[in-house]
């Protein structure tokens, strides 16, 4: 049984949800619909755990945009992002056992091989492989990204760049196990410092949280594994969460959603050109139908065959 079939039987979606269709000039394939089903199921699970434990969260980024502009998934999106106030985020990390198989909460303190700077909720019966990290022994299923939000001081670019360097370090660490990196990435790992990734993660969190005891008017999703987001948001816009329709459910969004979307996207109701409607994670292989353990077995064989053909 595929995950989409399990989720259908569970009653999270109906059969119509899985049908391919054209939306806003973009053809949403059956495979993408099954990806959406997996993501929606995880979001329902995440929301349930947060409600049970009194934790606040918000849809953010493209997921917040999808909620407002589409009442659900952006047709050409491929993931879900949520933010949590730092206090709620830290409490969530103590609740990893509430997520039962096939769900798994990932964080460096739960899995030292996982060196992302934020946490993820993963479905182990699916595949979402970031190619440079394909050989790292972590959970490679379809995920929801879970970011803490912290107060930040406007103009503090010194610490912003420190975080970028530490994020780069840990991103490099997760490439070390990949024997088939291109020349640029091979050069990158040669220059890796050798620093313990959990130690680097702890420093990232320390820097990110240094202003939380202040009355700074700004907050930022500063903890990421790629280049940090430059946008500053207003602390008051995170003061409360409100429910908003998303597919056939309601999930939480920040009370200041309009200003936040305008800061990030400008005229957020304006659709992008057709040429820019596509897979946002171009280095990620998605397969909602196959467990990543099975997929990786064949993927690694294919890598070996490509290498041998070049000898």
**In the chain, alpha helices (H):** 3-10, 30-52, 61-70, 86-93, 157-173, 183-190, 197-208, 257-265, 292-309
Alpha carbons 166 and 174: distance in angstroms, whole number: 13
**Averaged pLDDT score across all residues of the chain:** 93
Question: Where do we find the tokens 């930022």?
Answer: 220
pLDDT > 90: what percent of the chain? Answer: 84
- pLDDT tens per residue across span 234-269: 999 999 999 999 999 999 999 999 999 999 999 999
Q: Three-state DSSP class for 251?
A: strand
- pLDDT tens per residue across span 74-95: 999 999 999 999 999 999 999 9
Q: Sorting pLDDT into bands at 50, 70 and 90, what band is 41?
A: very high
Residue 95, classified by CB atoms within 10 Å of its CB into exposed (0-12), middle (13-18) or buried (19+), is middle
- pLDDT tens per residue across span 8-35: 999 999 999 999 999 999 999 999 999 9
Q: Sorting pLDDT into bands at 50, 70 and 90, what band is 277?
A: confident
**Predicted local distance difference test score (pLDDT) of residue 309:** 39
Enumerate the domain spans of the chain: 3-309
**Predicted local distance difference test score (pLDDT) of residue 229:** 66
**Predicted local distance difference test score (pLDDT) of residue 274:** 84
Alpha carbons 27 and 303: distance in angstroms, whole number: 30
Alpha carbons 254 and 4: distance in angstroms, whole number: 30
**Predicted local distance difference test score (pLDDT) of residue 5:** 97
Alpha carbons 128 and 122: distance in angstroms, whole number: 9
**Predicted local distance difference test score (pLDDT) of residue 306:** 46
């Amino acid at each position: 049984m595929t995950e989409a079939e399990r989720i259908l039987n569970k009653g999270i979606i109906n059969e119509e949800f899985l049908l391919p269709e054209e939306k806003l000039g973009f053809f949403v394939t059956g495979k993408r619909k099954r990806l959406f089903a997996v993501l929606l199921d995880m979001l329902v699970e995440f929301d349930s755990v947060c409600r049970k434990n009194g934790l606040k969260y918000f849809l953010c980024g493209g997921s917040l945009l999808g909620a407002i502009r589409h009442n659900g998934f952006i047709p050409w999106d491929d993931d879900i992002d949520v933010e949590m106030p730092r206090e709620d985020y830290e409490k969530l990390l103590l609740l990893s056992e509430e997520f039962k198989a096939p769900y798994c909460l990932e964080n460096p303190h739960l899995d030292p091989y996982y060196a992302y700077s934020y946490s993820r909720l993963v479905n182990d019966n699916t595949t979402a492989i970031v190619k440079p990290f394909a050989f790292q022994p972590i959970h490679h299923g379809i995920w929801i990204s879970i970011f803490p939000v912290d107060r930040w001081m406007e103009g503090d670019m010194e610490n912003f760049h420190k975080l970028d360097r530490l994020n780069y370090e840990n991103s490099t660490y997760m490439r070390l196990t990949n024997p088939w990196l291109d020349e640029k990435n091979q050069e990158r790992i040669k220059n890796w410092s050798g620093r313990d990734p959990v130690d680097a993660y702890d420093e990232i969190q320390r820097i990110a949280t240094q202003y939380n005891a202040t009355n700074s008017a700004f907050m930022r999703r500063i903890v990421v594994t790629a280049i940090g987001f430059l946008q500053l948001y207003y602390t008051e816009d995170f003061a409360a969460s409100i429910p908003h329709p998303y597919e056939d459910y309601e999930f939480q969004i920040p009370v200041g959603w309009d200003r936040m979307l305008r800061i990030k996207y400008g005229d957020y109701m304006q659709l992008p050109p057709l040429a820019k409607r596509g897979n946002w994670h171009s280095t990620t292989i998605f397969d909602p139908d196959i467990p990543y353990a099975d997929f990786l077995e064949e993927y690694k064989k294919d890598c070996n065959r490509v290498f041998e053909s070049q000898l």
